[in-house]
Amino acid sequence: MKLPLKITFALIAGTIALLGLLYFQHFSENYFSKRQLISEQIDAIETAEKSLDYHVLRSGFFLYVNQDEIIAKINAVERIIDTLRKNPNFSNEHPRTLQTLEIYQKAFLHKTDIIYDFQTSNAAIKNATMAIPALKQEAVAVFNTTKPDELRFLKEFSKLSGSVLLTKNSLDAQLIGDLDQGIHAIESYDFKEAKKVQIASSLIGNLKVFRAFFPLYKEAIEHLEHSDTKESLELLRKQFMLEDQTEFYAVTYFSYILVFLYISSLGLIIYFLIQSEIDARTDRLTGLGNRKAYEYRLRRSISSVLFLVNIDKFKHYNDFYGIASGDQILIKTAKRLKLLSRSWHNSFLYRLGGDEFGIVIEYHDHIDLEKLGRSILKEFQGKPMLIEGIETTFSITLAISTHSPLLETADMALKSIKKDRIRDMILYHEGLNLMEVVRENITKTRELRHAVEHDRLIPYFQPIVSLHTGQIEKYEALARLITEEGEIKSIFGYLDVVKESKYYATLTRVMVKKSFQVMKDLPFEFSINLSIDDITDHETILMITQTLDHYPHMASRVVFEILESEAMDDYTQVIDFIRIAKGYGCKIAIDDFGSGYSNFDHLLNLDIDIIKLDGSLIRNLPTSPHAVMIVETIVGFARKAGIKTVAEFASDKETYEMIKTLGIDYAQGYYTGRAASL
């Protein structure tokens, strides 16, 4: 049926107008998005520098500060500057602003040098100002005020302690002279007792450290107060606005050109009519063939091979950076694969799913499938993409199949290596036992379910030895599973199944109940592991409190070990549980402290009795000075805070002796005793 002529003309005219507006909208949005991106990056520099200033200021007030955060903040500013410099729209279209950015960068580099000086001097100053009051308390307990010379020493000590604080808080360099006189006076005392000599020597050492670093500390603070980065950043913003105004006029003139483009709209209408059929087989986002086009190609093919490409952790990128950034990753991945496959004879590229792409070629015996697969992997290894102004690097996993149905067999092979994460490429063949893992998981799930149903989950107890007495003083309860054949297995191999099958809460409750039953007639302390999931599970907490009500005489011997993890960022529920446990008289331990996320804030915000040092630190003590330094820091802090320390993974005599030398209170591991039934 033919459309009336007027309707046809109206449709054409409306289409022309619409296309013209859409094109102008796209053009203007592109302009404003570029402008907004640059403006946001300039604002991001300011925000990042303010955050840096905050952390630097915070490091001057708080005793324990993670210095890595300051370095991370410096790196954040430098990354934003580098991203802005590499933005082609910025570097090509705003040359004067680019020059201003270079001025700011030089000012920031100078500020960075000052910050590093401040960190060095600040650490020394804080250590000295912390140590001197502590020494003063110790001196009051040791020195005899009835002896004139010791009384004078204590008075000199008090005067110097006040002078140190006054000098630090006032930043008055003239007060240093009083410190010099005080140091000289302290050095004149000649005590005979070792403890008094040690106190006097430590006082002199800390005073000299303070005296040596104070000028650098004062100079760094003065430089930071008068940093010229703010002025140069404001100049950068003004220069960008001036250059951007010229570009804005160009956008305005472009809108006039659209009137002429409307006249050419007829050709666009014809183009879209032709494209309507093509679009049905085309992925809109990437422009590649879609699943329908793939299936159509296979129906026309006699023998084909499919290279199935999957972007690793794409959901993570999509959730973290947003859907728009995720779309850009897909688009740029498609472009890379398209450029690569062009060199392959008779190849066809498709987007087969959300983050999966397929390359189909005709299969011949002389084709080296592994070599072609490696060429695909190489295209993504160590080659970042610029997504929303951020360099993003990701990896892919590849499955190759010549067995029909291609997509199903390739997908099965892909999932198998996605799970073990050992390989990044697999060639499907009938010898692959892809059902083995499935069967193993089913077997473990069945064993776990039977163990729960038939009461075959039991606690084993590993001894914890006091390094002061050499005797066993505590035990840690560790879960074991008894199979139908009577074999006793560690629960460690079942943890994935436990979490996936929702048996985690059941396991915890069984361990609490049976641990109390075993230990009720024994005199030892015993610890039970709790995860954040346990602490946030109302029924589990209710069961724990009911057990404590049933065994009130045991509460003082119970230690709840909480795994240190990122989930501790929200302290509310953790603090509530600790308050409940402490109300019964129980103790609280932080397990695996010293691992990658460790933060002393956990100890400052939570009422902790025991720190269990992470096994990765203890294992490395004999070979890693870095591990020794970290352990010494943790132990020193714990001792001052009145917190006991336990070293896990004490597996041999050498490690045991090092743990003892470092002043740790307790040791746990194969050297001191394996877990066993009590």
Mean pLDDT of 323-343: 88
What 3-state class would DSSP assign to 301?
coil
Q: Do 557 and 601 have their domain in common?
A: yes
The residue among 432, 467, 483 that closes a domain is 432
Q: Which two tokens stand for residue 337?
A: 């694969």
User: Which residue(s) pair with 231 in the sheet?
Assistant: none
Confidence of residue 305 (pLDDT cuts 50, 70, 90): very high
Q: So what's the pLDDT on residue 382? A: 75
- Whether a cis peptide bond, with omega within 30° of 0, leads into 405 is yes
3-class state of residue 360 by DSSP: strand
3-state DSSP assignment of residue 663: coil
- Among 432, 466, 492, the domain-final residue is 432
Q: Find the mean pLDDT for residues 539-546.
A: 95
pLDDT at 569 over 80: no
Q: Among 225, 243, 259, where does a domain finish? A: 225
Q: What is the pLDDT of residue 566?
A: 45
Structural Rg of the chain based on CA atoms: 35
Considering the domain boundaries, does residue 259 fall inside one? no
- Is the same domain home to 208 and 241? no
605 within some domain? yes
Total structural domains within the chain: 4
Rounded Cα distance, 48 and 73, in Å:
7
pLDDT surpassing 90 at residue 164: no
Residue 213 has pLDDT above 80, yes or no: no
Residue type, 643: I
Burial label for 637, CB within 10 Å (0-12, 13-18, 19+), is: middle
Residue pointed to by tokens 């943790």 = 634
Instruction: Specify the long-range contacts of residues 175-184, CB closer than 8 Å, at least 24 apart.
Output: 176/211, 176/214, 176/215, 179/207, 179/210, 179/211, 180/211, 182/156, 182/207, 183/207, 183/208, 183/211
Q: Three-state SS for 522?
A: coil
d(CA 237, CA 484): 73
Residue 167 covered by a domain: yes
How many whole angstroms separate alpha carbon 236 and alpha carbon 102?
Answer: 9
Backbone φ and ψ for 619, nearest 5 degrees, come out as: -60, -35
678 token code pair: 């009590």
Give the residue with greater pLDDT, 260 vs 547.
547
Is position 35 within any domain?
Answer: yes
pLDDT in tens, 461-489: 999 999 999 999 999 999 999 998 999 99
> 187 and 75: one domain?
no
Q: Contacts for 518-523 with beta carbons within 8 Å, 24 or more apart?
A: 518/459, 518/461, 518/678, 519/475, 519/554, 519/557, 519/678, 520/551, 520/554, 522/678, 523/557
Q: Where residue 258 falls among pLDDT bands split at 50, 70, 90?
A: low
Whether residue 282 is predicted with pLDDT greater than 80 in this model: the reply is yes
Give mean pLDDT, residues 534-551: 94
Q: Is residue 215 part of a domain?
A: yes
Paired residues of 425 in beta bridges? 398
- Average pLDDT of the chain, as a whole number: 82
What percent of the chain lies above the pLDDT cut of 70? 85
CATH number at residue 9: 1.20.120
Position 201 in a domain? yes
Give this prediction's pTM. Answer: 0.45
Average pLDDT over residues 227-256: 73
How far apart CA 106 and CA 164 sit, in angstroms, is 35
**One domain, residues 473 and 536:** yes
- Integer Cα distance of 378 and 396 in angstroms: 10
Q: Which residue from 193, 191, 139 is spatially nearest to 161, judged by alpha carbons? A: 139
Residues 6 or more apart whose Cβ sits within 8 Å of residue 27: 251, 254
The confidence band for 250, taking pLDDT boundaries of 50, 70 and 90, is low
| Whether residue 482 is found in the same domain as residue 610 | yes
Output the 3-class SS for 603-616: HHHCCCCEEEECHH
Query: Do 87 and 31 share a structural domain?
Result: yes
Q: Which of 156-165, 179-188, 429-438, 505-514 has the lowest mean pLDDT?
A: 429-438
Q: What is the pLDDT of residue 263?
A: 58
| Most confident range, picked from 22-26, 279-283, 513-517 | 513-517
* Statement to judge: residues 464 and 574 lie in one domain: yes
Q: How far from the centroid of its chain's Cα atoms is residue 173's Cα?
A: 42
Asked if residue 234 and residue 177 are part of one domain, the reply reads no
Residue type, 60: G
The pLDDT assigned to 466 comes to 95
Does a structural domain hold residue 655?
Answer: yes
pLDDT above 90 covers what percent of the chain?
24
278: confidence class by pLDDT, cuts 50, 70, 90: low
**Tell me: the pLDDT tens digits for 89-141?**
777 878 888 888 888 888 888 878 878 877 777 777 778 777 888 888 888 88
592 and 447 share a domain? yes
Q: Which residues pair with 559 in a beta bridge?
A: 527, 587
Same domain, 67 and 142: no
pLDDT digits (tens, 9 = 90+) for 36-94: 888 888 888 888 878 877 777 777 665 555 677 878 888 888 888 888 888 887 778 78
Span 408-444, pLDDT tens digits: 888 888 887 876 667 888 888 776 665 565 577 788 8
- State the DSSP code for 524: S
- Structure confidence at residue 246 as a pLDDT band (50, 70, 90): low
Please compute, for residue 221, the number of CA atoms within 13 A of its CA located in the half-sphere on the CB side. 19
Query: Between 623 and 209, whose confidence is greater?
Result: 623
Nearest CA to 611 among 655, 666, 539? 666
CA distances (Å), 413 to each of 237, 400, 425, 426, 510, in order?
A: 53, 8, 9, 7, 38
Q: Are 26 and 102 within one domain?
A: yes
Q: Are both 630 and 663 inside the same structural domain?
A: yes
- pLDDT confidence of 1, banded at 50, 70, 90? very low
The pLDDT value recorded for residue 21 is 63
CATH number of the structural domain spanning residue 305? 3.30.70.270
- Going through 430-539 in order, the beta strands assigned E by DSSP cover 457-466, 472-482, 488-490, 525-530
The tokens of 466 are what?
A: 């006091």
CATH number at 577 reads 3.20.20.450
DSSP state of 662: T
Q: What is the C-alpha separation between 285 and 317, in angstroms, rounded?
A: 17
Give tens-digit pLDDT for 362-403: 888 788 888 888 988 888 887 888 777 777 777 888 888 888
Does the residue 625 lie in any domain? yes
Residues 608-652 have pLDDT tens digits of 999 999 888 899 899 999 889 989 999 998 998 899 999 999 999
Cβ atoms 211, 179 nearer than 8 A:
yes
Q: Which residue has the higher pLDDT, 581 or 19?
A: 581
* Model pLDDT, residue 230: 82
Host domain of residue 474: 440-667
Calpha distance 113→115 (Å, rounded): 5
Helix (H, G, I), strand (E, B) or coil at 145: coil
